[in-house]
């Protein structure tokens, strides 16, 4: 399975990370399976997110049902684009594709991980 993320979705998530700096940022990713590919096409900021310099969270109770939820995106102000233990737990709960961006939040500082926490390759598409 290839993971494809639309450029505008990735740039939107990165803009959120930049705006939240020096705090972490989180958003949900929506998309769909197209043949053997997972195509991510949009971002949604869940209501009631809480942020600080070393964590971000949101309440499932406040988040409405999201058709097409396929994963998450979040930022690490410290620069690491790799998941923590808590991140890997979130990955196991929220879909199959998860992106972590390290500061300074450019497309070069983004990694993708599967729901099981293993690193995955992704492509940015128009």
Instruction: Give the pLDDT confidence score for residue 42 in this predicted structure.
Output: 95
Q: Please report the DSSP string for 59-112 in residue order.
A: -TTTSPP-TTEEEEEEEETTS--S--HHHHHHHHHS-SEEEEEETT--GGGEEE
Q: Say how many domains are in the chain.
A: 1
Is it the case that residue 113 has pLDDT exceeding 60? yes
pLDDT at 22: 95
Give residue-wise pLDDT tens across range 48-84. Answer: 777 767 767 666 655 555 678 899 999 999 889 999 9
What is the residue-wise DSSP string for 4-25?
Answer: EEEHHHHHHHHHHHHHHTTS--
Domain span at 120: 2-125
CATH number for the domain spanning 86: value is 3.40.140.10
This prediction's pTM: 0.91
């Amino acid at each position: 399975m290839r993971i494809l993320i639309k450029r505008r979705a990735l740039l939107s998530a990165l803009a959120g990370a930049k705006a939240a700096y020096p705090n972490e940022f989180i958003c949900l990713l929506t998309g769909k399976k197209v043949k053997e590919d997972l195509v991510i096409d949009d971002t949604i900021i869940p209501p009631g997110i809480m942020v600080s310099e070393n964590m971000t969270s949101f309440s499932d109770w406040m988040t409405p049902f999201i058709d097409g939820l396929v994963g998450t995106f979040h930022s690490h102000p410290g620069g690491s684009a790799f998941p923590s233990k808590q991140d890997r737990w979130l990955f196991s709960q929220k879909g199959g594709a998860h992106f972590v961006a390290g500061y300074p939040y450019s497309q070069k500082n983004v990694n993708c991980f599967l729901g099981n926490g293993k690193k995955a390759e992704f492509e940015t598409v128009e």
